[in-house]
Structure 1
Amino acid sequence: MKIALIREKYTDFGGAERYVASLAENLALRGHEIEIFASTWKTRSEEGPSEALAFRPVLRRVPVVKGPSFLQILSFAFSVRKMLQGGRYDIIHSFERTLYQDIYRAGDGCHREWLIQRRKIDPPGKGLLHRINPLHRTLLWIEKQIFSEEGCRAVVANSRRGKKEIMTHYGVPDNKISVIYSPVERNRFSCGRKLESREKLLSQLGLKPESALLLFVGSGFQRKGLAAALRALALLPSPAHLIAVGKDRLAPYRRLAESLGVENSVSFTGPISDVAPYYQGADLFIFPTIYEPFSNVCIEAMAAGLPVVTSRINGASEMIIEGENGHVIEDPLDPAEIAAKIRAGLEISGSRIADANRSILEQLTWKHHLDQVLDLYEAVRDEKGADRRRITP
């Protein structure tokens, strides 16, 4: 098949972009012709020949008007539509809120639901500002177009919760939305030398062996619950140490840690390109987010054999077997509940976690994921072909 993938900022390392890069490469390895539409892109191969890519995609640069974020989003959506309307693709698969696609992957969730959930942490009156903010109005307008009857042929949600949100807010029929969980590169995060990795991390942080190492990974600390994690840390018996990996303004969280008296029990690393050593050395992964369609960091932690404590509203909580490979937080703003779930998580044995994760991780391989994606592609391609035959006299 000739397949167009849409991602505004394309890179083959890091987060959602790495997913698109891996999908493109895996599709190419199965013999499909791939073109990626993006406004900017950067690949490892551009940084030097030592990490040359096994797959070099055809990259189509989409022009974007410079200016406020809402204007950039609109210009990307209209520009990529114009470019794609002139081409002949078996499948157009978008990972952005755009205006022309066969399949839309709702990897960022449902913006309408996010605005509802963020009221829990926003100051009074902020909700009114959101309703008139041109960025939110733009995202809601495009989202409404996508989920309309003519917006796309199929929607991919990365969790059952995400599917339910789309159906609730936009009335999209059940049979139009496929739940396809994100895959995880299991070998990249698994570790057969846990003790050695832990000792190395303790030494790096200057901590004693009896310290319980809690790991938080995620940029955008407000939504992902770092403040709640710090408040929970203050309720834990020492020695417990929280490692916060990710990009955001650190000053507010340093001040919060100081006010809670845990400034010496938390390490802020900033963004890190390779988080695997932290997964392999930590004792528990904590992620009390207030909204997350499906957090890849949780399944990366699972692949490393860590107990995971995360919020019910995180789609990745659907991978948690309560008390077997982690615990689910019902109220991500309740430090007492989070602290209790952390204590319980630290008591789960590694063998118990491995047993619980075995069948789950087998369903999160790239092979299984790609089989599901290609089944959907073939169904959509056949539907498009049938429509063309009906139109052609």
Structure 2
Amino acid sequence: MKMNKKLKLAFCLFKYFPFGGLQGDFMGIAKECMDRGHKVVAYTISWEGKKPEGLEVRLLPVSGMTNHARYKSFAQLVHEYVKGESYDVLVGFNKMTGLDVYYAADVSYAAKMMERSRLHRYTPRYRTLMALERAVFDKGSKTEILLLTEKEKNFYMDYYGTTAERFHLMPPGISRAFLPPVNADKIGDEKREELLIGREKTVLLMVCTNFKIKGVARAIRAVSALPPEILRESVLLVVGKDNPRHYSHLAKQLKVLEQVRFIGTRSDVPQLLMAADFFIHPASVENTGTVIIEALAANVPVLTTDICGYSFHVTCAQGGQVVRDPFNQEELNQALSFMLTSDQRNVWQANCKKYIEHTDIFSRSQKVADFIEKVTL
């Protein structure tokens, strides 16, 4: 039930650009809040793309030559700019001080740094990013935390002393556009024709905005290890915003340049999934992996790594294969080869369909808006 009181909300995000996972969540939640009649003001360092009607965007004049210095400056400026604005709730989509609500899409920086050399702990970057994370999770903080997965909850509680009652688990939130319509096969065929990919080809789809951490090199190596007769009929289609030069060079070195295509950012990902046979997401860092849920919703079998927070959905759905941590390239190679040569594809597809029909994967924006309203009561 929606509340009668109209709220004034400040949403804080380091950077907005189309097609980013966090940015998509930000936009979905902002639109849901505005649909409920609330005023949303977005504070950010930079904004790319269209601004939806009703959303006020304020670019803050940050200082600093490095990203971490600019993030620190942004966190300080936010509090200067919100003074006297009478906001009901200050919502952060990145870690910073003084938030009422933090949308926890990022992995823990402290946990990530524990795997690195101790020398990193003496850098300004480490000190800055740790301070921003501690501001949210420290036991003395009053920030309410919206978790997207349970993956790092225990770490935060052990490392920072965060109390359990400050964590609130949110469901996934994807568009129903990813559900295949009755004419999905026709749409998929048309998309293949547009991309000049024959129906006889096996299409492996990747969708990501950071090729390094989302595993594009891992995927290329796995493709190069396919049996020759399978490799000849396979295409790795990489969608996303990043520089493909290094990865094209790797594909050329491994003699699979003809099998790997980079097609940039796209607004037709649901249709691309209808054209795909498999979805691959072998990330090395991934708090959630919304694209995994999108592929399952499209009934496309998934190959991923269990470092991804949403990989458990693939296991629960029995909708593909999950490579266990610590990562081993040979295991990924074998898993990909198994999926492309197995007769289980139809079974995986049916399992995906059944799982999605009985799992809440759509309501995140609504549940986050519900919580934002609740904290004002």
Q: TM-score, normalised by structure 1?
A: 0.83
Match of 2:149 in 1: 159
The one of 26, 34, 37 aligned to 1:31 = 37
Match of 1:261 in 2: 255
Match of 1:99 in 2: 97
Match of 2:15 in 1: 9
User: What SS does the aligned partner of 1:302 have?
Assistant: helix
- In the alignment, the residues of structure 2 paired with residue 317 and residue 20 of structure 1 have an alpha-carbon distance, to the nearest angstrom, of 22
- In the alignment, the residues of structure 2 paired with residue 99 and residue 23 of structure 1 have an alpha-carbon distance, to the nearest angstrom, of 21
Match of 2:235 in 1: 241
Residue 154 (structure 1) shift: 0.8
User: What SS does the aligned partner of 2:135 have?
Assistant: helix
The one of 175, 179, 182 aligned to 2:169 = 179
- In the alignment, the residues of structure 1 paired with residue 295 and residue 312 of structure 2 have an alpha-carbon distance, to the nearest angstrom, of 14
Q: Deviations over 1:67-120 (max 9, x none)?
A: 222221111000002222433222211112221211111211211223345x5x
The one of 199, 205, 209 aligned to 1:209 = 199
- In the alignment, the residues of structure 2 paired with residue 152 and residue 308 of structure 1 have an alpha-carbon distance, to the nearest angstrom, of 38
The one of 106, 111, 115 aligned to 2:113 = 115
Match of 1:144 in 2: 134
Pairwise mapping of residues 1-393 of structure 1 onto structure 2 (< 5 A)?
1-10=7-16, 14-44=20-50, 53=52, 55-116=53-114, 127=117, 130-188=120-178, 190-237=180-227, 238=230, 239-321=233-315, 324-331=318-325, 333-345=327-339, 347-349=344-346, 350-360=349-359, 363-365=360-362, 368-382=363-377
- In the alignment, the residues of structure 2 paired with residue 241 and residue 86 of structure 1 have an alpha-carbon distance, to the nearest angstrom, of 56
8 Å CA contact 1:3–1:35 kept in 2: the answer is: yes
Match of 1:391 in 2: none
Match of 1:390 in 2: none
Report the CA distance shift for 1:323/1:60 in structure 2 as closer, same or farther (over 3 A). closer
Q: Deviations over 1:245-303 (max 9, x none)?
A: 22333232223223323222211223334333321211111001111011122122222
Q: Deviations over 1:322-342 (max 9, x none)?
A: 572222210473233223333
Match of 2:4 in 1: none
Instruction: Give the gaps of 5 or more residues in structure 1.
Output: 46-52, 120-126, 383-393
- In the alignment, the residues of structure 2 paired with residue 84 and residue 138 of structure 1 have an alpha-carbon distance, to the nearest angstrom, of 22
User: What SS does the aligned partner of 1:39 have?
Assistant: strand
Report the CA distance shift for 1:341/1:61 in structure 2 as closer, same or farther (over 3 A). same
**Matching residue's letter, 1:351:** A
Q: Deviations over 1:48-76 (max 9, x none)?
A: xxxxx4x4123333231152222211110
User: What SS does the aligned partner of 2:141 have?
Assistant: coil
Q: Identity across aligned pairs (percent)?
A: 28
- In the alignment, the residues of structure 1 paired with residue 49 and residue 264 of structure 2 have an alpha-carbon distance, to the nearest angstrom, of 22
Report the CA distance shift for 1:200/1:240 in structure 2 as closer, same or farther (over 3 A). same
8 Å CA contact 1:225–1:332 kept in 2: the answer is: no
Q: Deviations over 1:179-208 (max 9, x none)?
A: 113300122563433333443344445444
User: What SS does the aligned partner of 2:10 have?
Assistant: strand
Instruction: Give the gaps of 5 or more residues in structure 2.
Output: 1-6
User: What SS does the aligned partner of 2:74 have?
Assistant: helix
8 Å CA contact 1:13–1:43 kept in 2: the answer is: no
**Matching residue's letter, 1:380:** V
Q: Pairwise CA RMSD of aligned residues?
A: 2.5
Residue 158 (structure 1) shift: 0.9
- In the alignment, the residues of structure 1 paired with residue 304 and residue 173 of structure 2 have an alpha-carbon distance, to the nearest angstrom, of 18
How many equivalent residue pairs? 362
Match of 1:388 in 2: none
User: What SS does the aligned partner of 1:381 have?
Assistant: coil
